[in-house]
Amino acid sequence: MCRVFGEDIRRMSSCGDDGRQDSRRIWIRKYASAEKKDTAIKYVSLIVLVIQNASQVLVMRYVRTRPREMFLSTVAIFFAEVVKLIICILFLTIQEKSLIRCLKVMYVDIIKQPVDTLKVCVPAVIYVIQNNLLYVAVSNLPAATYMVTYQLKILTTALFTVTILRRRLSLLQWLALVLLFGGIALVQLDDQRASMKVIKENLTSIRDDSSKSAKSETPYKHIVEQNPINGFAAVLVACILSGFSGIYLEKILKDSDVSVWIRNVQLAIISLPVALANVFIQDSRRVLEQGMLVGFDVVVWCLIMLSSIGGITVAVVIKYADNILKAFAASIAIIVACIASALLFQFRPAVLFLVGTVFVIGAIFMYSLFPYKKKYQQTPTEPPHADQQKEETSTYFCGFICLFVVERYMMLKGKEIAKVFGRTGVEVIRDN
């Protein structure tokens, strides 16, 4: 886009006054059209990210806890990279309007520029490790708790932003990070009660079903008690990796003119051998005995598709949106997952969880709304930047949406919360 505008400017300088005015009008139309297109991509990608983020956690939680032979998570990650590669090549073909042109672009940008391709090795390897850690985390944490805890990646992203990109944070942003820690602590306190209750109910149901069976079927062996400590450790390491890889990928995407589809193809090509090696390192025995597709069904393939869409969407959001809108997308996804978890997985949020969730969402708002402002002398005739005005409008709009959803959810849960006051903690846990 920058090259096209540069050519238009040179053409304008070589024309007369009338030609310059016509060229200027054409240039303004092109710029406005490109800006509208980028804005549309930004908001569509954010909406897709919200839906994908919440859906993936809920589906992953379901397939990891249902009474069925467990699939191999390493194999699922490998196929997710395969699906992502296919989707990116398909979109690149649509963009280039020809498969031959698509292959030529891939050859020029990937094969003929090996140094540029090697730049994505770091985030590609990190993403494979991070996905494995997230499978461990979601298997040991309730879905809503996992979603809230995983927001620690905002903290790690801020730390890497300061240390690597040399950006500064305001005092209110650092206070928001402290508030984030407090919210996560409250969520962890409520985690023990909710997770152990669901596990005991599942184990009791399985024992009852096996005792009633006339053929004495073999009980499901893969359902084990969750370990919140292991889950929290896994998600903490994943947050650190997410913060670093996010900053690294943002620098790569915004500092070059390479298409986001090419970047995703590069990521998938490098991730595929790493993911395949991880399959045979961790699960070689089961693969040789039962095959790679053991435990796979339609739901697992849906999970793989969601994971692939998530990887692509994150790259698009980083390219076209910003950290503020991405944080709001994560906030809305948390609320959606909380409500869905209460309906689907018998997760009954207590007061600690609700307060912790409000703290985390409030921390996201505070961190996003009060960035560090440089002290510079602004001329009286210099208007505020249009992008900054749009960013502030989008921020407040998303904030009102989040607050409205929280208020509706609190009204639905009002009767349960009212019962808490005047009772002891033991009575509340027993009743829930």
Residue 406 has a pLDDT of 47
What is the C-alpha to C-alpha distance for residues 38 and 226, in angstroms, rounded to an integer? 44
Q: Let me know: does 148 contact 294? Beta carbons within 8 Å.
A: no
Q: Let me know: does 349 contact 338? Beta carbons within 8 Å.
A: yes
* 151 DSSP assignment: T
Structure tokens at 371: 């960035």
Residue 300 has a pLDDT of 92
Burial code (b: 16+ CB inside 10 Å, e: under 16) for 316-343 equals bbbbbbbbbbbbbbbbbbbbbbbbbbbe
Structure tokens at 217: 């079927």
Ordered per-residue pLDDT tens for the chain, 432 residues = 544 445 554 555 555 555 556 666 665 665 566 677 777 888 888 888 888 988 888 888 788 778 888 888 889 989 999 999 999 999 999 988 888 999 999 999 888 888 888 888 888 778 778 878 888 888 888 766 776 777 788 778 878 878 877 878 888 888 888 787 777 767 766 655 555 555 555 555 545 555 544 444 444 444 456 788 888 888 899 989 988 888 888 888 877 788 888 988 988 888 888 889 889 888 888 899 888 998 899 999 999 999 999 888 888 888 777 655 676 777 777 767 777 777 777 667 678 778 887 887 888 788 778 877 776 544 444 444 444 444 444 444 444 444 454 455 455 544 444 443 344 333 333 343
Positive/negative CA dihedral, 125, 247, 182, 331? negative
Residue 207 has a pLDDT of 52
DSSP three-state, residue 403: helix
Smallest CA-to-CA distance from 118 within 128, 109, 131, 127 is with: 109
Q: Tokens 């699922």, residue? A: 76
Residue 139 has a pLDDT of 81
pTM: 0.66
Percent of the chain that is helix, strand, coil (3-state, to 5): 80, 0, 20
Structure tokens at 292: 């790679």
Q: Let me know: does 126 contact 241? Beta carbons within 8 Å.
A: yes
258-262: Cβ within 8 A, 24+ apart: 258/109, 258/116, 259/92, 259/95, 259/105, 259/109, 260/315, 260/316, 260/319, 261/88, 261/89, 261/91, 261/92, 261/95, 262/92, 262/105, 262/106, 262/109, 262/110
What is the C-alpha to C-alpha distance for residues 283 and 262, in angstroms, rounded to an integer? 31
Angle at 240 between CA 366 and CA 338, to 5 degrees: 55
Residue 94 has a pLDDT of 92
What is the C-alpha to C-alpha distance for residues 43 and 401, in angstroms, rounded to an integer? 15
Which DSSP string do the residues of 100-111 spell out, in sequence order? HHHHHHHIIIII
Angle at 370 between CA 366 and CA 375, to 5 degrees: 160
For the chain, give the longest Cα–Cα distance: 94
Residue 395 has a pLDDT of 44
What residues does each domain of the chain span?
42-211+223-372+389-431
Smallest CA-to-CA distance from 246 within 152, 170, 172 is with: 152
Residue partners of 73: CB distance under 8 A and separation at least 6: 132, 135
At residue 383, what is the residue type?
Answer: P
Residue 144 has a pLDDT of 66
